[in-house]
């Protein structure tokens, strides 16, 4: 059977990653969390104290950033590694969430990440989630989904996720973060977040993860 690319784009905290991961597992495909890559870049700049305003230093640093995904057989989970070190915990903090959209709006950062993502998916047979997969990374993806959901519902889900990791975060702070990220992501000059003309819209406000997964698999089945 031919292998296809499934591109899942959309607003922050709509359930893209959870859905994409489950779709990949059911189809026996690879899963690439492109948001994790921009988060890892943000972490690197923070660790190295590189100011985003220092464009020359930002661009020079990109050569020193190597991101990989490592499957941990003990937990059964994929871990994001920055220069060989597992940074899965560090990249999910509110601190990183608050700077990542500014980092990902820098054109040179995007060019570097897009090139790596295209390389990772070149053999196809992948589910990739992000903001520009169907428009920029894989404009020829066989399945394109654009996810949206009510902001309050997204924030509640995000709060629950953080709580499960032991992080108590105020709902208003999460709403502000989601709105800020959506605004930066949709208005940046380099590949802003938008629905590709050929992407199917999925509003997950009142859907369970299982329903979302079934919906995406149905889209994929039509292309196989
Ligand atoms: O998916 P996640 O919410 O972890 O992504 C974090 C941030 O990374 C997004 O808010 C967005 O600014 C950026 N991003 C992006 N392009 C992608 C994936 C994520 O600009 N393909």
* pLDDT score, position 1: 83
User: Which atom of ligand 1 is closest in space to residue 132's alpha carbon?
Assistant: 21
* pLDDT score, position 75: 86
Task: Encode pLDDT of 66-125 as tens digits.
Answer: 999 998 889 888 899 999 999 999 999 999 999 999 999 999 999 999 999 999 999 999
User: Which atom of ligand 1 is closest in space to residue 188's alpha carbon?
Assistant: 20
User: Which atom of ligand 1 is closest in space to residue 104's alpha carbon?
Assistant: 20
CATH fold of 5-223 reads: Rossmann fold (3.40.50)
User: Which atom of ligand 1 is closest in space to residue 182's alpha carbon?
Assistant: 10
Q: Which residues line ligand 1 (CB under 6 A)?
A: 12, 34-35, 38-39, 100-101, 104, 130-132, 181, 185
> Picking from 105-114, 119-128, 138-147, 159-168, which range would have the lowest pLDDT averaged per residue?
159-168
* pLDDT score, position 38: 98
pLDDT band at 196 (very low <50, low <70, confident <90, very high): very high
* pLDDT score, position 132: 98
Q: Are 19 and 212 in contact (CB under 8 A)?
A: yes
Burial class (CB in 10 A: 0-12, 13-18, 19+), 216: buried
* pLDDT score, position 182: 97
Q: Which mutation among 38, 114, 138 tests ligand 1's pocket best, with the greatest number of atoms within 8 A of CB?
A: 38
| Residue 106 DSSP one-character state | S
* pLDDT score, position 7: 98
Domain boundaries, the chain: 5-223
Q: Are 32 and 117 in contact (CB under 8 A)?
A: yes
Q: Is the predicted pLDDT of residue 52 greater than 90, yes or no?
A: yes
User: Rounded mean pLDDT of 131-149?
Assistant: 98
Instruction: Choose among 7, 187, 195, 167: nearest CA to 97.
Output: 167
Core vs surface per residue 129-161: b (16+ CB within 10 A) or e: bbbbbbbbbbeebbbbbbbbbebeebbebbbeb
Q: Are 105 and 191 in contact (CB under 8 A)?
A: no
Q: Are 95 and 7 in contact (CB under 8 A)?
A: no
- Given the cut 0.95, state whether the ipTM is greater than it: yes
User: Rounded mean pLDDT of 163-175?
Assistant: 95
| Residue 69 DSSP one-character state | E
Backbone angles phi, psi at 67, to 5 degrees: -110, 130
Average pLDDT of the chain?
97
* pLDDT score, position 107: 98
Q: Which mutation among 116, 131, 184, 191 tests ligand 1's pocket best, with the greatest number of atoms within 8 A of CB?
A: 131
Percent share of the chain, pLDDT over 90: 95
């Amino acid at each position: 059977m031919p292998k296809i690319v499934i591109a899942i784009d959309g607003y922050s905290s709509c359930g893209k990653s959870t859905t994409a991961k489950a779709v990949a597992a059911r189809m026996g495909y690879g899963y690439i969390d492109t948001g994790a890559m921009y988060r890892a870049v943000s972490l690197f700049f923070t660790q190295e104290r590189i100011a985003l305003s220092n464009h020359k230093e930002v661009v020079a640093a990109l050569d020193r950033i190597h991101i990989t995904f490592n499957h941990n057989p003990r937990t059964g989970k994929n871990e994001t590694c920055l220069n060989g070190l597992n940074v899965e915990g560090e990249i999910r903090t509110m601190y990183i969430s608050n700077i990542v959209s500014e980092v990902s709006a820098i054109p040179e950062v995007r060019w570097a990440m897009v090139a790596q993502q295209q390389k990772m998916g070149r053999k196809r047979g992948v589910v990739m989630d992000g903001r520009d997969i169907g428009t920029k990374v894989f404009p020829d993806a066989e399945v394109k989904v654009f996810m949206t959901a009510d902001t309050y519902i997204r924030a509640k889900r995000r709060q629950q996720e953080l709580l499960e990791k032991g992080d108590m975060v105020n709902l208003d702070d999460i709403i502000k973060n989601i709105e800020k990220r959506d605004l930066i992501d949709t208005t940046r000059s380099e590949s802003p977040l938008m629905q590709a003309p050929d992407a199917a819209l999925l509003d997950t406000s009142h859907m369970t993860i299982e329903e979302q997964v079934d919906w995406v698999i149905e889209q994929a089945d039509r292309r196989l």
